Structure 1
Amino acid sequence: SDVVCPWCYIGKRRFEKALAAFPGAADVEVVYRPFQLNPDASEAGEPSAQVYERKFGRPAQSIFAPLTEAAAAEGITFRMDDAVATNTFTAHRLIGFAGRHGRREQSAVKEGLLAHYFTDGGHLGDHAALTDIAVAAGLDRAEVTAFLASQDGVEEVHAELAEAARLGITSVPTFVFDGKTAVSGAQSPELLLEVMTRIAADTATT
């Protein structure tokens, strides 16, 4: 998924609902992998409305309104008019760094980045903001500051982006279950639960 993808945030909530209803949830490990919708985006950032209007050729509000409504149905507040679109590579590096500390920390950083962009109108290229998000997720401020100032994690993100391309993933969110089954799009909790239940049953019988 990408952290500036509205359907990724909505899909994350729907997946969390499915996982909460899954009997084997305690044994599920969730790992967030990177994808960039716009890898050529500037790190300086620009208003998201400009990006959407340039890409789709129509007023941004006509795009934002249904997305905001879909997000609200999942308990998420979208303020996309305030968001600053930027290159997300560094944010993906930070998600990977958080994953080294644990899945809970990674999930918290992922959620923090999504909320910063979509709800707070934040700039995901701002290292100070990224650091605050990581610290709120339980990471050490000095370690995060040093990490962001380094090239640590760059090769890993490039490798994971290349792997996504090799697997033929061209849209997000894409959920890959047990390395076997891929489901694209912000599908309903019911469908995602059905997939997990089927895979668990298949695994139990093999």
Structure 2
Amino acid sequence: MTIKVQLVMDVICVHSYLGYTRFTRAADRLMAEGLPVAVEFLPFELAPGAPADGQPLLAVLEQTFGPQAAADVLTFAESAALEGVRLEYGKAIATGTFDAHLLIADAARQGKAELMAERLFRAHFTDGLHIGDPATLARLAAEIGISTGHVPAAELRARLEGVRRLGFTGVPVFLIDNLPPLTGSASETTLLAALRRAATMKGESRDH
């Protein structure tokens, strides 16, 4: 009995990164109890059409949301650190994420989507790497051990459009089997409870 989960996320979204970290911890706890979890990533662009030239993220946030935005994210970084997530906003580079999503889609075909997504989150938020840059993406793909070019850009555009048609306007969204969607900053406890609930429902339906 496998719990199927779809994760709607963007790798430049800090709430996606924190949510993904919490989810993986919850899923690991469930799998330690002998219940497998299968994960599929659904792509979402936080800033569709954003240029991939790369700008300092703090400067972009201040320009877009005002001077308080930089202070707010640095405060958020302190709270994220308590959960073991290191956010280096001073190094982070704002960029479009279409090619990063393409890389996750390629990795999914090789059974390494979760490894690739985690590496992209960490590359952006912790390492200060420009994840819109083709050379950076090629280096990260080699690091994870995947080949690229398996998923056409047109196929990814169709997936992005399909996710938009589902009506999601923000991320992260956790689609856990047949449960109602969980959105935003769900805690590890909440995510684990949802996974357990899905497992219980699957067990009940199998018994009938």
TM-score between both structures, scaled by the size of structure 2: 0.87
- For 1:183, the equivalent position in structure 2 comes to 182
* Percent identical residues: 35
Change (3 A) 1:49 1:160: same
3-state secondary structure, aligned to 1:136: helix
In 1, the alpha carbon distance for the partners of 2:104 and 2:41 equals 8
Give the conservation status (yes or no) of the 8 Å contact 1:77–1:118: yes
- For 2:137, the equivalent position in structure 1 comes to 130
Deviation at 1:125, TM superposition (A): 1.4
| Structure 1 unmatched runs, 5+ | none
- For 2:10, the equivalent position in structure 1 comes to 2
In 2, the alpha carbon distance for the partners of 1:195 and 1:180 equals 8
- For 1:119, the equivalent position in structure 2 comes to 126
Alignment map for 1:43-122 (pairs within 5 Å): 43-102=52-111, 105-122=112-129
Deviation at 1:67, TM superposition (A): 2.1
Deviation at 1:156, TM superposition (A): 2.1
3-state secondary structure, aligned to 1:31: strand
The alignment status of 1:15 with 2:14, answered yes or no, reads no
Give the conservation status (yes or no) of the 8 Å contact 2:74–2:89: no
1:140-168 CA-to-partner distances (Å, cap 9, x unmatched) read xxx43xx2xx9x43122212211211111
* Structure 1 vs Structure 2 CA RMSD: 1.7
Give the conservation status (yes or no) of the 8 Å contact 1:6–1:67: no
In 2, the alpha carbon distance for the partners of 1:69 and 1:16 equals 21
Higher strand share: 2
Change (3 A) 1:167 1:69: same
TM-score between both structures, scaled by the size of structure 1: 0.88
Give the conservation status (yes or no) of the 8 Å contact 1:19–1:25: no
In 1, the alpha carbon distance for the partners of 2:69 and 2:190 equals 30
Higher helix share: 1
Using the TM superposition, name which of 92-101 and 52-61 deviates more: 52-61
Relative contact order (C-alpha < 8 Å, sep 6+): which is higher? 2
